[in-house]
């Protein structure tokens, strides 16, 4: 028995556009596959991309190892006045964000269009604003 | 002498004898002795003789006059011998009276015979007659050989067709059944085989499996095999015990078995609801039962090979526990040699199987086949070898896994957990919770549990009992009570947010209850959650 590798669990496709990058992740992001997730996002930041939209429609599961990656990336991107938005999250993943309070620090929206609106506007980390109405996915 | 070895061509007149007569002294006496019986042509030089040999009608026999004494006399003989067209034509030497050693010497260097001069016509004719007959027999043999070769090719072609047909007749795997996983493999020599296996459901809950090895190989064995297989299927329709089925098949075969063939077989019925296995072993290699703790050999025998005796067969029963795999094989698997006279044997087979505990049947068979191939790589071609693996998945209610340190980091849990969840009938929403909880607990243990001089081990069980899901997680790492760990940060703004403690926080929130105990040097966590199902008949409870 060989067990699955992180390669089997998650795969990515990345679309580099004029003013942002659209990353589609497919699969489960847990302790083994989060390494690949981090690598994929870090590659983009290293290349100088500061606005990233993550298509989360096909992320079926996320554990704290995946949250760690999201937190790191969000911190780095907002530090350089960039943007980091997840769109189309499945209910199970939203539930994990809710339990861990990540829904208060991540920009979560429904669709790619919404993500573009967010990234196009002047983005600030949610918790730094006192306006709760900007939160999505309650 | 068989008929076909007798000279077919009774008209010896067709026999062409070449007389090489360089001194032109023996022509008359030779002609006188032979022309009445054979066709005779004379060559007075080596070159003319060579032309005759290379012509469209080469001679069947050469008479060569040795004129010169000593080595020189054999010069012409040697030149004939080294010519490719002449090498297969027998040469009789005519040797000089003055050189008595020439004849024997000629025999040692490849002459068919010799006749010493002066030539006595009757003697020469008698000697030539012997070689003509030998030559005719040679030609007849060659023709017979060519015929056999052609027929052999026909037969081989038919055997290949037969073999392909046999393969196409092998059953597919049983329909997807949540409760049983099955796989079979057949490695075959280049002949039609006497091995076979079969799978079929007697009813929706009972799977019948058969493996057998006919006493011989080739076409008769294949025909016998086809008969056995059909009989087993036919008798299984109205008989329900393996003993009764095999007894009935045996009776039928004894009536028809003029060729005295026999077949060793195992017929087994596995009840997918309970894991009860009923089997009859008729002189076959014993089945192996691969469990999580050990591999057992089911040694019981229930009768002689089918086709050898009219004694009735008995049967045995054993209860398979969840995740146990029944492994059946034909002796090709264990009899195989490593080229040093050692057999692969049951011990190696059991060892190989024990490493595969808990794996999918197909990967078990692939691994065993590879192990056998590696073992026998220095010996001859593989004999027929058939293997069947049948895994009882149980009710999908309980999963138990022990993991070492490297396995914790490698995500090795995934395959088993995935299979368990697929078969569990647990609503999908719970799958993610179980996966997350186990991932968090394993990560925690792997990161923080390490102690000097202790090999880190974890034992996991996931159990579904009525409406309750219970996860038990035990590890031998450093004492750690997650319930006393400081609370996770779930409210700081992004820039100040920390990640610590989120895993345990997730576990506490995804499950209803967690309890911790440090016992016998182990951290023991028990997590429970109530299961709400929306299936018909189940109570619908608001979350």
Produce one character per residue of B307-341: b if its CB has 16 or more CB atoms within 10 Å, e if not. bbeeeebbbbebebebbbbbbbbbbbbbebebeee
- The phi, psi pair for A32, rounded to 5°, reads -85, -40
CB B291 within 8 A of CB B356: no
Structure-token pair, residue B103: 């004849």
B503 to chain A: nearest residue by CA? Answer: A64
Q: What element of type H or E holds A109?
A: strand A107-109
Higher pLDDT, B426 or A57: A57
pLDDT tens per residue across span B42-58: 888 888 899 999 998 89
pLDDT for the residue numbered A22: 94
Radius of gyration from C-alpha coordinates of chain A:
14
Beta bridge partners of B391: B181, B325
pLDDT tens per residue across span B185-228: 888 775 667 888 998 888 878 899 999 998 877 778 888 888 89
**ipTM for the predicted complex:** 0.83
Beta bridge partners of A53: A22, A85
- Indicate yes or no: CB of A3 within 8 angstroms of CB of B494: no
pLDDT tens per residue across span A46-105: 999 999 999 999 999 999 999 999 999 999 998 888 899 999 999 999 999 999 999 999
**Which stretch of B31-40, B188-197, B298-307, B334-343 has the lowest confidence by average pLDDT?**
B188-197
DSSP summary character for residue B535: S
pLDDT for the residue numbered A4: 41
A33 to chain B: nearest residue by CA? Answer: B411
pLDDT for the residue numbered B396: 60
Q: How many residues does chain B have?
A: 543
Residue B8 pLDDT more than 80? no
d(CA A128, CA A124): 7
Residue A53, judged by CB atoms within 10 A of its CB (0-12, 13-18, 19+), counts as buried
CB A103 within 8 A of CB A89: no
- The mean pLDDT value of chain B amounts to 84
Residue B60: left if φ>0, alpha if ψ -120 to 50, beta else—which one? alpha
Higher pLDDT, B332 or B287: B287
Higher pLDDT, B356 or B456: B456
Residue A131 pLDDT more than 60? no
Higher pLDDT, B176 or B278: B278
Which chain B positions have a beta carbon within 8 Å of A126's beta carbon? 494
- Indicate yes or no: CB of A74 within 8 angstroms of CB of B414: no
pLDDT for the residue numbered B474: 93
Give B143's contacts (C-beta < 8 A, 6+ positions apart).
none
Give the three-state DSSP class for A83.
strand
d(CA B90, CA B107): 11
B362 to chain A: nearest residue by CA? Answer: A1
Residue among B411, B439, B442 whose CB faces A4 most closely: B411
Q: Per-residue pLDDT averaged across A117-128, rounded? A: 61
> What's the order of all strands across the beta sheet hosting B325-329?
B180-187, B385-392, B325-329, B288-290, B295-297
- The phi, psi pair for B369, rounded to 5°, reads -60, -40
- The phi, psi pair for B218, rounded to 5°, reads 85, -170
Higher pLDDT, B176 or B482: B482
Q: Per-residue pLDDT averaged across B131-156, rounded? A: 88
pLDDT for the residue numbered A24: 95
CB B347 within 8 A of CB B337: no
pLDDT tens per residue across span B444-489: 888 888 888 888 888 888 888 778 899 999 999 999 898 888 888 8
Beta bridge partners of B317: B278
- Indicate yes or no: CB of A1 within 8 angstroms of CB of B506: no
pLDDT for the residue numbered B314: 94
CA distance A134 to chain B (A): 14
Residue B371 pLDDT more than 80? yes
pLDDT for the residue numbered B534: 57
DSSP A7-52: HHHEEEEEEE-SS-EEEEEEEEESTTTHHHHHHHHHHHHHTT--EE
Give B76's contacts (C-beta < 8 A, 6+ positions apart).
B20, B22, B46, B49, B64
pLDDT for the residue numbered A77: 92
Q: Per-residue pLDDT averaged across B289-296, rounded? A: 84
Which residue, among B131, B271, B275, B284, has the nearest Cα to B210 in the 3D structure? Answer: B284
d(CA B543, CA B541): 6
Cis bond before residue B118 (omega within 30° of 0): yes
Q: Which residue has the tokens 């556009």?
A: A17
pLDDT for the residue numbered A66: 95
Cis bond before residue B179 (omega within 30° of 0): no
d(CA B138, CA B7): 9
Any alpha helices (H) in B237-360, and if so which ranges?
242-256, 332-335, 345-354
pLDDT for the residue numbered B285: 93
Which chain A positions have a beta carbon within 8 Å of B492's beta carbon? 127
pLDDT tens per residue across span B231-287: 999 999 888 899 999 999 999 999 877 778 899 999 999 988 788 999 999 999 999
Residue A138 pLDDT more than 50? no
Structure-token pair, residue B123: 């003697």
Give B464's contacts (C-beta < 8 A, 6+ positions apart).
B396, B397, B398, B424, B426, B470, B531
Of the pLDDT bands very low, low, confident and very high (cuts 50, 70, 90), residue B175 is low
pLDDT for the residue numbered B301: 93
pLDDT for the residue numbered A134: 43
Residue A19 pLDDT more than 90? no
**Which stretch of A87-91, B169-173, B313-317, B318-322 has the lowest confidence by average pLDDT?**
B169-173
What are the counts of helices (DSSP H) followed by strands (DSSP E) for chain B? Answer: 14, 20
- The phi, psi pair for B58, rounded to 5°, reads -70, 155
B366 to chain A: nearest residue by CA? Answer: A1
pLDDT for the residue numbered B537: 43
> Is A30 at the interface with chain B, CB within 8 A?
yes
d(CA B488, CA B510): 15
Among B402, B406, B414, pick the best mutation site for testing chain A contact (most A Cβ within 10 A): B414
CA distance A4 to chain B (A): 6
d(CA B520, CA A61): 35
CA distance A114 to chain B (A): 21
Which chain B positions have a beta carbon within 8 Å of A125's beta carbon? 493-495
Taking a contact as any Cβ pair under 8 Å apart, which residues of chain A between 52 and 91 contact chain B?
60-65, 67-68, 71, 74-75, 78-79
CB pairs under 8 A between A and B: 101
Structure-token pair, residue A85: 């938005």
Which chain A positions have a beta carbon within 8 Å of B506's beta carbon? 63-64, 96, 99-100
Residue among A33, A78, A99 whose CB faces B494 most closely: A78
CB A108 within 8 A of CB A134: no
DSSP summary character for residue A86: E
CA quadruple B331, B333, B338, B342: dihedral sign: negative
Q: Per-residue pLDDT averaged across B7-31, rounded? A: 76
Structure-token pair, residue A61: 């599961």
**Which stretch of A88-102, B152-166, B303-317 has the lowest confidence by average pLDDT?**
B152-166
d(CA B395, CA B420): 10
* Predicted model pTM: 0.49
CA distance B300 to chain A (A): 31
DSSP summary character for residue B241: S
Give A10's contacts (C-beta < 8 A, 6+ positions apart).
A25, A26, A27, A28, A29, A33, A36, A37
First-last CA distance in chain B = 97
CA distance A58 to chain B (A): 14
CA B118: distance to chain centroid? 69
Q: Per-residue pLDDT averaged across A113-131, rounded? A: 65
Among B432, B448, B529, pick the best mutation site for testing chain A contact (most A Cβ within 10 A): B432
- Indicate yes or no: CB of A3 within 8 angstroms of CB of B429: no
Give me the helix-helix angle, A64-79 and B428-448, nearest 10°: 80
Q: Per-residue pLDDT averaged across B90-111, rounded? A: 88
């Amino acid at each position: 028995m060989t067990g699955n590798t992180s390669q089997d669990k998650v795969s990515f496709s990345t679309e580099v556009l004029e003013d942002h990058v659209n990353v589609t992740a497919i699969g489960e992001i847990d302790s083994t596959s989060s390494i690949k997730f981090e690598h994929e996002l870090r590659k983009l930041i290293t290349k100088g991309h500061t606005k990233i939209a993550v298509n989360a429609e096909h992320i079926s599961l996320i554990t704290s190892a995946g949250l760690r990656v999201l937190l790191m990336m969000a911190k780095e991107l907002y530090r350089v006045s960039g943007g980091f938005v997840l769109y189309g999250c499945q209910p199970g993943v939203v539930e994990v964000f809710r339990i861990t309070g990540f829904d208060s620090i991540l920009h979560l929206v429904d669709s790619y269009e919404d993500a573009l609106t967010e990234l196009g506007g002047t983005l600030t980390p949610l918790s730094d604003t006192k306006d709760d109405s900007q939160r999505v996915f309650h | 002498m068989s008929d076909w070895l007798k000279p077919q061509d009774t008209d010896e007149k067709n026999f062409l004898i070449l007389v090489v007569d360089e001194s032109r002294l023996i022509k008359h006496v030779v002609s006188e002795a032979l022309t009445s019986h054979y066709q005779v042509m004379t060559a007075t030089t080596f070159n003319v003789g060579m032309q005759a040999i290379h012509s469209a009608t080469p001679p069947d026999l050469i008479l060569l006059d040795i004129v010169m004494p000593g080595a020189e006399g054999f010069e012409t003989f040697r030149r004939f011998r080294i010519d490719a067209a002449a090498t297969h034509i027998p040469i009789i030497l005519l040797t000089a009276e003055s050189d008595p050693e020439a004849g024997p010497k000629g025999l040692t260097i490849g002459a068919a015979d010799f006749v010493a001069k002066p030539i006595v016509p009757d003697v020469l004719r008698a000697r030539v007659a012997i070689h003509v007959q030998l030559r005719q027999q040679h030609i007849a043999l060659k023709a017979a050989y060519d015929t056999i070769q052609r027929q052999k090719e026909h037969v081989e072609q038919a055997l290949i067709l037969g073999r392909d047909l046999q393969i196409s007749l092998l059953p597919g795997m049983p329909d997807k059944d949540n409760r049983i996983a099955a796989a079979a493999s057949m490695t075959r020599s280049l002949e039609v085989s006497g091995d076979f296996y079969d799978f079929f459901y007697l009813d929706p809950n009972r799977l019948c499996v058969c493996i057998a090895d006919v006493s011989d190989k080739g076409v008769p064995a294949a025909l016998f095999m086809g008969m056995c297989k059909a009989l087993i299927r036919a008798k299984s329709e109205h008989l329900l015990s393996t003993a009764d089925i095999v007894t009935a098949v045996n009776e039928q075969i004894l009536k028809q078995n003029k060729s005295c063939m026999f077949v060793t077989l195992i017929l087994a019925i596995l009840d997918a609801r309970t894991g009860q296995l009923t089997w009859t072993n008729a002189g076959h290699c014993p089945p192996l039962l691969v469990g999580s703790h050990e591999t057992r050999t089911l040694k019981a025998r229930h009768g002689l090979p089918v086709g050898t005796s009219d004694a009735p067969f008995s049967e045995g029963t054993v209860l398979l526990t969840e995740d146990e795999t029944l492994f059946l094989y034909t002796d090709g698997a264990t009899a195989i040699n490593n080229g040093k006279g050692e057999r692969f044997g049951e011990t190696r087979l059991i060892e190989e199987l024990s490493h595969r505990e808990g794996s999918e049947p197909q990967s078990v068979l692939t691994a065993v086949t590879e192990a056998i191939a590696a073992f026998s790589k220095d010996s001859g071609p593989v004999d027929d070898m058939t293997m069947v693996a049948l895994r009882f998945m149980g009710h999908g209610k309980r999963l138990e896994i022990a993991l070492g340190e490297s396995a914790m980091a490698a995500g090795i849990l995934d395959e088993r957990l995935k299979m368990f969840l697929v078969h569990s009938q647990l609503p999908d929403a719970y799958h993610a919770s179980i996966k997350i909880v186990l991932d968090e607990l394993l990560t925690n243990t792997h990161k923080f549990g390490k102690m000097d001089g202790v090999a880190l081990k974890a034992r996991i069980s996931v159990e579904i009992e009525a409406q309750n899901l219970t996860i038990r997680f035990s590890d031998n790492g450093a004492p750690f009570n997650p319930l006393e760990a400081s609370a996770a940060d779930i409210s700081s703004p992004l820039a100040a947010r920390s990640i610590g403690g989120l895993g345990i926080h997730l576990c506490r929130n995804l499950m209803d209850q967690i309890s911790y105990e440090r016992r016998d040097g182990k951290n023991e966590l028990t997590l429970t959650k109530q299961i709400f199902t929306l299936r018909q008949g189940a109570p619908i409870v608001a979350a």
